Structure formats: structure tokens, C-alpha cells
Amino acid sequence: MNTAVPPAFRPARRIAGIGVSEILAIGARAVQLRREGRPVIVLGAGEPDFDTPDNVKDAAVAAIRAGATKYTVLDGTAELKAAVAAKLRRENRLDYAPTEISIGAGAKQVIHNALMATLDDGDEVVIAAPYWTSYADMVAIAGGVPVPVAGREENGFRIEATALEQAITPRTRWLMLNSPSNPTGAAYSPADYRPILDVLLRHPQVWLMSDEIYEHLCYGNFSAVSPVALEPALRERALVVNGVSKSYAMTGWRIGYGAGPEALIRAMAVVQSQSTSNPCSVSQAAAVEALNGPQDFLAERRASFLHRRDLVVEALNAIPGITCRRPEGAFYAFAGCAGVIGRTTPTGAVLSTDMDFCRYLLEEHDVAVVPGSIFGLAPYFRVSYATAEGELRTAMARIARAVEVLR
Ligand code: PMP
């Protein structure tokens, strides 16, 4: 009889230290509290609260009926690559051939493919902070070392050229930029980009990954521009990342795309060929319709987000101890909570960090928001305003009350 005790599960070094996202943990706790009957309002979601447009759904149904239910070309159908190329030309002044375009299961897979295809152990990736938490974890999984460079609030949460230049070493492979940004909603204008692009021109070993997934969600007279269109010299070492998740309310369909030099696109296809193969055939057909079909609903949705942005920013700024910069885009507000740090809750707990504050808001005031520290900048918290207006108003009142009763 074999009595040997099986060894405990040992995860690979590659994923040691990478936990389940804190955002998901907060979401799970919120669900648990709701199940206990608490009226928790969750302002943590990273997805639009609109539905996928009907013309897109119809295209998917038609694709199923027409038999588009088999493997497709590994990194995207000819139709979808053509639609992406046309979109990049029409909206971004970017000229990419189909062989320079890669389709994946979400922008997330495109980013993962690019990092896996380029990073050797110990290679460094500069990440403009505050950043979408997945960036750092994806770099680590690919064997790289994330090097966050913080954009201070005084600079509109944008990184400064001198800080970027100091962070670059001979081992730096990428700069990851995201405008408009998750989590801050901050966006770069052409003038904001210029000094950053000049730094990149001085460091030819550094590639630019420009995540433009929130480009359609810009407010007022701000409109998003691709840094690669501003500096064509970078085209040979840039990957433009985008997708249909946020613009077309298609998060569940899992279609994202990247545009870059053919050699990079081919290397990314190698990664995808041995992981997931092609993205869902039906979703690709739906994405063709999203990109080629009518775009007028985008303006309506933008107007609705603009209204909710202003509601949230004004409500937050009216709370003593909380400050909130008015963001240019996305559907997030990134509020400073330095004014509540060090204060004491009615039950006697001292709020030492933004994590403490967010936990207090959830546990005692039924509002779920995400601490800034997990995005690489503290003390802040992120509010997603992709939620019904009534809920937003109630949530803002609860946060105001939560701060009011602090000692
Ligand atoms: N980039 C950013 C900045 C995001 O916030 C997200 C979604 N949270 C993604 C990429 C990924 O989007 P998807 O994989 O759904 O295309």
C-alpha cells in the first residue's frame, strides 16, 4: 500500500504572488452582503451598463444561421481585419494592413500575447500609473518586471517626461500607456503626449503599447488621439490596442485587436496558436457589424456618461475631505481621500489607508468602491459611474454620510 502523503499543491513561480484581483474580491464581498439582505451599491464595474446594440446581436444570429460556427483563421477573419483596418484609418489616421492586425479574445488577450511574445525573464516594462491592475500582473506572468511610474494628480494623473526617462534602463522593452485611463479617466492631448514621445524617440529599445480601449468615451470638447498618429516614427515599434468591449458594450463577446509591425503580429499569433486558437467565430462576425455598422448611438451614450460624470464629480467634491479631478474620459472618477486618513469610525477603527476607507464604506455604508492603492496611487478610490443615475445619487449620499460621522 502506498502511504506517501501527496505533496501540497505548488504553484509555478510565474504566478506566485499574483492574487485574484482585489476588484473581484471586493465584488465577491458585495455579492455576499447582498445575499445577506444588505442594499449594497456596487460602483466597481469595469463595463458599460448599456446593452449590446441590436444590429450587432442580429449579425451574430445571422452568422450562426449561416454556419460561421467553425474554426477561423488563427488571429482573426479577413472580414474583421478589414473592418479594423478601415476603422483605424477612419477614426485614428492610422494605416495598417491586415497582416499588421491581430484579433484576440478581448484586448486583454492581445496584451498578453504581446508581452509573452516579447519579454524575456527580467525584461522591464514601464507602466504609467495609476494603472489597470492587470497590466502589472500580465507583465509578471510573462516573466517581466513591472516598473510603475506615477502620474501625480497635479499633472492630471499623467506621467512626466523626466520621471519616464529616469525609469528607462537598457532592459526596458515597453512603455504601457492607457488614454483615456482606467482608473483615473485622465487622457492625453497631443500636447501632453509630445514630451513622452520625445523620450521614446531617444530610447529606441523601448516599444510603445497604447491601450486606446476607452477612446470613444471622451467628454466635452476633448477627443482622443492615438500617439502613433502623432509620431509616425514610432509606428515601427508600437502596438495600438483596442477592442469592442467598452465602445459597443460588448464585454462578454471577447473581441479585442492590436495593430503593429508584422513581425510582432506574427510572434503574437504563435502565442495565441498554442493557447486559445481563434477568438469566437460568432463574436468576430458581431464585431464586424459593430465596427462597420451605424455609429450614431455612441454620441447618445457619451452624453449619458457625461451627465453621470458631472453628477459624481460634483457630489464627491462637495464632501469635506474628499477631492475629485474632473476626468476627460472613460467611466471612472478617481477621488482623493487624504482628508479622511487618520480619522476614526463610529465603532472606533482608525482609517490608516485607502483600503481601510473602502472597507469601511462597504461594510458599514453599503457602497463598494475600489482603493487607489491597488492601481498604484494612494490614498485614492475609484468610482465607476456606469450605473443608473438614481443609484449613483444614493451612493454619493451614503459616502457623504460615511465621512460626516467620522471623528
Ligand atoms: N484595457 C483596459 C484599460 C481595461 O480597463 C480593460 C477592461 N477592464 C481592458 C483593456 C480589457 O478589455 P477586454 O479584454 O474586454 O477587451
285 and 314 together in one domain? no
How far is the C-alpha of 33 from the C-alpha of 28, rounded, in Å?
Answer: 9
Which atom of ligand 1 approaches the CA of 243 most closely? Answer: 16
Last residue of a domain, one of 267, 292, 317: 292
Q: Is residue 105 part of a domain?
A: yes
CATH number at residue 398: 3.90.1150.10
ipTM of the complex: 0.99
Confirm or reject: Cβ of 279 under 6 Å from ligand 1: no
pLDDT tens column, 35-60: 999 999 999 888 888 999 999 999 99
Ligand 1 pocket check for 53: Cβ under 6 Å: no
Question: Would you say the CB of residue 185 lies under 6 angstroms from ligand 1?
Answer: no
> What percent of the chain lies above the pLDDT cut of 90?
91
pLDDT reported for residue 347: 96
| Mutual angle of helices 354-365 and 389-404, in 10-degree steps | 110
Same domain, 130 and 191: yes
- 258 Cβ closer than 6 Å to some ligand 1 atom: no
Q: Does 59 reside within a domain?
A: no
Mean pLDDT along residues 91-103: 98
Q: How confident is the model at residue 173 (pLDDT cuts 50, 70, 90)?
A: very high
Together in a domain, 78 and 179: yes
Question: Mean pLDDT over residues 234-248, rounded?
Answer: 97
Q: What is the rounded distance in angstroms from the CA atom of residue 379 to the CA atom of residue 341? A: 8
* DSSP designation for 235: G
Query: Ligand 1 centroid vs 41 CA: distance in angstroms?
Result: 22
> Per the domain annotation, does 96 fall within a domain?
yes
Query: Do 97 and 192 share a domain, yes or no?
Result: yes
- 112 occurs within a structural domain: yes
| Inside any domain, residue 56 | no
For range 206-233, the mean pLDDT: 96
- 271 with 327, same domain: the answer is no
Question: Using CA of residue 391, residue 314, residue 44, residue 331, what is the dihedral sign?
Answer: positive
**Ligand 1 pocket test, candidate residues 23, 184, 213, most atoms within 8 A of CB:** 213
Pair 111, 228 in one domain = yes
Same domain, 78 and 223: yes
Q: Tell me the average pLDDT of the chain.
A: 96
Q: Are residues 284 and 223 in the same domain?
A: yes
Decide if 188 contacts 221 (C-beta within 8 A).
no
Shared domain check, 303 and 258: no
Question: Quick check: is 72 in a domain?
Answer: yes
pLDDT digits (tens, 9 = 90+) for 141-158: 999 999 999 999 999 999
Q: What phi and psi values does residue 121 have, to the nearest 5 degrees?
A: -50, 130
Mean pLDDT value across residues 229-243:
97
DSSP secondary-structure letter at 14?
G
Q: What is the CATH number of the domain that holds 261?
A: 3.40.640.10
In this structure, are 233 and 313 located in the same domain? Answer: no
Q: Kind of pairing, strands 367-368 and 238-243?
A: unpaired
Spacing, Cα 37 to ligand 1 middle (Å): 31
pLDDT value at position 18?
A: 83
Between 143 and 20, name the one with better pLDDT: 143
Q: Is residue 4 part of a domain?
A: no
Using alpha carbons, select from 95, 145, 103 the residue that is nearest to residue 120: 145
**Is the per-residue pLDDT at 1 higher than 70?**
no
Residue 72 structural domain: 68-292
Pocket test for ligand 1, best of 132, 216, 280, 334 (most atoms within 8 A of CB): 132
Give the model confidence (pLDDT) of 327-357 as tens digits. 999 999 999 999 999 999 999 999 999 999 9
In which residue are the cell numbers 464586424 written? 288
Give mean pLDDT, residues 219-248: 96
User: Of 292, 315, 338, which one is at a domain's C-terminal end?
Assistant: 292
Q: Is residue 5 part of a domain?
A: no
Contact 360, 402 (CB under 8 A): yes
Distance 29 CA to ligand 1 centre (A): 22
Indicate if ligand 1 lies below 6 Å from the C-beta of 376: no
The residue from 292, 309, 337 where one domain ends is 292
Same domain, 216 and 128: yes
132 and 155 assigned to the same domain: yes
Nearest 5°: the CA angle 181, 182, 183 is 110
Does ligand 1 have an atom closer than 6 angstroms to the CB of 181? no
Q: Is 84 within 8 Å of 101 (Cβ atoms)?
A: yes
How many domains does the structure of the chain reveal? 2
Q: Is 23 a residue whose pLDDT tops 90?
A: no
Residue 216 is predicted with a pLDDT of: 96
